[in-house]
Structure 1
Amino acid sequence: MTRTTALAGTDPGARPVIDMDYVTDILRRLLEIPSPTGYTDQIVHFCGDEFRRLGIPFELTRRGAIRADLIGARRSPDRAIVAHVDTLGAMVKMLKANGRLELVPIGTWSARFAEGARCTIFTDRGSYRGTILPLKASGHTFNTEIDTQPVDWTNLEIRVDACCATEEDLLVHGFNVGDFVAIDPQPEFNPNGFINSRHLDDKAGVAVMFGAAKAILDSQALLPVDCHLLLTISEEVGSGASSVLHQDVAEMVTIDNGTTAPGQNSREFGVTVAMADSSGPFDYHLTHKLLTLCRDHGIDHQRDIFRYYRCDSAAAIEAGNDIRTALVCFGIDSSHGYERIHKDALRSLAELIALYMQSDVAVPRDRLGIGPMGSFPWQPTTPAETPEG
């Protein structure tokens, strides 16, 4: 690792220039790669190749989580940015007597959004294409019963695109219990900036991370401390960033989606800064640092709280890591369903991440880990002044 104390031409106060053609191209390519939790090797190789192409050193955990390193002027207290490459999906639960496949979900998502989806089934011998259908799929046969069948995974089955009419046929073709099922993303990039696709959670976040890293490299910006770019492979099932951190990391910012729905403050534009999720509040000082960066650099943003949501930050804390965590989001409509985002949010989020990488750490004392009180921070407690008028 080569450390430097200064770089010619560096302007850490400037608003970063984000190559949005690069961000959207990376997002397209990520969406093309099936990566349900548990079947992520291919996308790990892709991300590793991209880090290598950018000249960013990286290493992998045993299962494939990635930690890449942008070197700063100091080693500690260092920081991390995290996004996840795994997506929702399904697995084969049973081979059925009618030549179809029973399935169970990977991650938490509604059977309502699985109905009608095209998919790929990965068997030990190779892959097959198929369609997820309700048990009563034909109006010509079941008439109005097709509208009264409950929304439940037990009421779905996969019709495989192979000559399979019995359980024996399925066995002959190589299907087994436990085969992974990847759901087609069906991406659509509209000229007005809207992007529709499954699995934008969190491949859009991964694209943002790459875009921010490229902006840092293109500008030759000086980083005050080491910054680790983490890509996790099991966020959708809850373990996420529990094993890819090391003890020097003092603060970690997660990039993920913010749900735009009734009762939420998230939008499909600008940055959504999460104040809390189902695991509790995010770190006060780190979160307010990100809000300050947004205000100081004119980045459109809003705050939100999520009742039924957890991210990589929760997994890192629950694994026993003593770190400050925050969550910044691109607004997403119909999360875990047919998702939609806007390029504006991706640009704003990449700008914020690049600015954060160049900024000082939220709390300098964090380099100590456990130690004396020293310069431990304060949260404001003084009464607010009443605005005039």
Structure 2
Amino acid sequence: MTPDLTYLRRVLVELLEIPSPTGRTDHVQQYVGERLDRLGVPFVVTRRGAIVADLGGPAGDGASRAIAVHTDTIGAMIRRLKEDGRLELKPVGTHSSRFSEGAAVWVFPDDLETVYTGQVLPLKASGHRWDDEVDSQGVSWDQVEVRLDEHVATAEDLRALGLDVGDFVAQLASPVITDRGYVRSRHLDDKAGVAATLAAVKAIKDSGVELPVHARLLVTCTEEIGHGASHGLAEDVAEMVSVDAAVVAPGQQSRERAVTVAMADGVGPFDYHLSRRLHAIGRDAGLDVVRDTFAHYRSDAASALEAGAHLRVALLGFGVDATHGHERTHLDSLAGLSTLLASYLASDLVFPQWDTRPQGPLSAFPSLAVQPAQEEGPQEGPIDVD
């Protein structure tokens, strides 16, 4: 089930060219839905805009699994129409204004036929005016503004364009794929993950492999504000693998050309058995796969658990340098991630006998002595608490 890299690249670039800050994701969800249609994958859309796709596999066995990705990105909204015709910004999602300085943006008024272009600038943008003060100005969203490419000099001029507080401002991704396979772009988180996942689904469809476990794809659109997978998961989902950016930075094991199995994030550890099963599948497939933990990080897995989902969760990542900034990854990482996802979907549950039911007796509960490849209960008898 080798992923189609031409398909992966094309979908990745097309996704990156669709602005989709959290709260304005209808267009990108429409695109993903059309891609699923072409692959022959049935799906529904929830009231809040998430996509729930049926990847196949035997239904009615008591347990299923899910892959979760998100299409929303960090961005901004208009916080104030400034008296000089500039726009003050409110960030959407957690990111520093430092990385938005100089960014080309699209500004979306309520008129869906209109888009305005502009650029994010620091308040002291002219070196000829401010001299060394351009280097000493602070870094915060209060220190930047949007300069529109329009004839505007007052707040009333902005209102005449149809702009108002709460309109969305999207930093353009400007994707570049180099001859060496590096992908440099804003918003790789998580559009690169979506592209790799769709390539995995295509690989499964092309191969004709029958999935041993009923599987769904959950495409969320509010992950960057913390509640992406809080809905959309069926009650019978026993395993969920979230796909997201892996942090490449000093002190981390993640690398741009490797696939990462996250063992823990800022919320806590992921499922012991499922994480190690994924790592083993990657090694067995000959992939460059590493383990890592992340400190300032959460994903769709956290929102699913906090919403009360009763399942095992794990996280697979593609290595990204400068996350939520000037991001970069490599096609090797995306191809490896796609291969690992397809191999995982073609495998059985970690504990088929146990996880097909929501609860059971202690004697059947898997212990640390039981390796993920085994299906029996614990090898040792019950502990005598007396």
Q: Pick the TM interval, shorter chain.
A: over 0.9
| Aligned position for 1:30 | 15
Quick one: which amino acid aligns to residue 258 of structure 1? A
Q: Does 1:349 align with 2:334?
A: no
Match of 1:213, SS? Answer: helix
Per the TM alignment, residue 374 of structure 1 is displaced from its structure 2 partner at its CA by: 4.8
| Aligned position for 1:9 | none
Q: Does 1:379 align with 2:365?
A: no
Residues 17, 174 of structure 2: 8 Å contact kept:
no
| Aligned position for 2:315 | 327
Quick one: which amino acid aligns to residue 23 of structure 2? G
Residues 111, 153 of structure 1: 8 Å contact kept:
yes
| Aligned position for 2:68 | 82
Residues 110, 162 of structure 2: 8 Å contact kept:
yes
Residues 250, 322 of structure 1: 8 Å contact kept:
yes
| Aligned position for 2:184 | 196
Q: Does 1:301 align with 2:289?
A: yes
Once residues 373 and 180 of structure 1 are traced to their aligned partners in structure 2, the CA distance between those partners, rounded to angstroms, is 52
Residues 37, 86 of structure 1: 8 Å contact kept:
yes
| Aligned position for 2:58 | 73
| Aligned position for 2:105 | 119
TM-score computed with the length of structure 1 as normaliser: 0.93
Once residues 18 and 170 of structure 1 are traced to their aligned partners in structure 2, the CA distance between those partners, rounded to angstroms, is 47
Q: Does 1:368 align with 2:357?
A: yes
Q: Does 1:261 align with 2:255?
A: no
Matches within 5 A, 1:1-389: 16-75=1-60, 76-125=62-111, 126-364=114-352, 365-380=354-369
Quick one: which amino acid aligns to residue 183 of structure 2? I
1:168-220 CA-partner distances (Å, limit 9, x unpaired)? 11111111000001111011011110010000000000001100000000000
Once residues 193 and 217 of structure 1 are traced to their aligned partners in structure 2, the CA distance between those partners, rounded to angstroms, is 26
Once residues 78 and 359 of structure 2 are traced to their aligned partners in structure 1, the CA distance between those partners, rounded to angstroms, is 47
Uncovered stretches (5+) of structure 1, i.e. residues with no partner: 1-15, 383-389
Once residues 47 and 199 of structure 1 are traced to their aligned partners in structure 2, the CA distance between those partners, rounded to angstroms, is 16
Per the TM alignment, residue 370 of structure 1 is displaced from its structure 2 partner at its CA by: 2.5
More displaced 10-residue stretch of structure 1: 364-373 or 131-140: 364-373
Quick one: which amino acid aligns to residue 135 of structure 2? D
Once residues 270 and 90 of structure 2 are traced to their aligned partners in structure 1, the CA distance between those partners, rounded to angstroms, is 32
Quick one: which amino acid aligns to residue 68 of structure 2? V
Uncovered stretches (5+) of structure 2, i.e. residues with no partner: 371-378, 380-386
Runs (4+) off by over 3 Å: none
Once residues 133 and 225 of structure 2 are traced to their aligned partners in structure 1, the CA distance between those partners, rounded to angstroms, is 34
Match of 1:280, SS? Answer: coil
1:68-89 CA-partner distances (Å, limit 9, x unpaired)? 0111134431000011000010
Count of residues paired in the alignment: 367
Quick one: which amino acid aligns to residue 68 of structure 1? A
Percent of counterpart pairs with the same letter? Answer: 51
Quick one: which amino acid aligns to residue 233 of structure 2? L
Once residues 46 and 363 of structure 2 are traced to their aligned partners in structure 1, the CA distance between those partners, rounded to angstroms, is 35
Once residues 64 and 100 of structure 1 are traced to their aligned partners in structure 2, the CA distance between those partners, rounded to angstroms, is 32
TM-score computed with the length of structure 2 as normaliser: 0.93
Residues 238, 315 of structure 1: 8 Å contact kept:
yes
1:14-47 CA-partner distances (Å, limit 9, x unpaired)? xx21100000100010011110000000011111
Once residues 295 and 94 of structure 1 are traced to their aligned partners in structure 2, the CA distance between those partners, rounded to angstroms, is 52
Quick one: which amino acid aligns to residue 58 of structure 1? F
1:121-172 CA-partner distances (Å, limit 9, x unpaired)? 0001221001110111000111111110000100111111111101111111
Quick one: which amino acid aligns to residue 318 of structure 1? E
Per the TM alignment, residue 64 of structure 1 is displaced from its structure 2 partner at its CA by: 0.9
1:212-246 CA-partner distances (Å, limit 9, x unpaired)? 00000000001011110110000000001011111
Quick one: which amino acid aligns to residue 193 of structure 2? G
Per the TM alignment, residue 270 of structure 1 is displaced from its structure 2 partner at its CA by: 2.2
Per the TM alignment, residue 341 of structure 1 is displaced from its structure 2 partner at its CA by: 0.3
Residues 74, 224 of structure 1: 8 Å contact kept:
no
Match of 2:262, SS? Answer: strand
Once residues 332 and 70 of structure 1 are traced to their aligned partners in structure 2, the CA distance between those partners, rounded to angstroms, is 27
User: What RMSD in Å do the two structures reach over aligned CA positions?
Assistant: 1.2
Per the TM alignment, residue 372 of structure 1 is displaced from its structure 2 partner at its CA by: 2.5
Once residues 25 and 200 of structure 1 are traced to their aligned partners in structure 2, the CA distance between those partners, rounded to angstroms, is 14
More displaced 10-residue stretch of structure 1: 293-302 or 42-51: 293-302
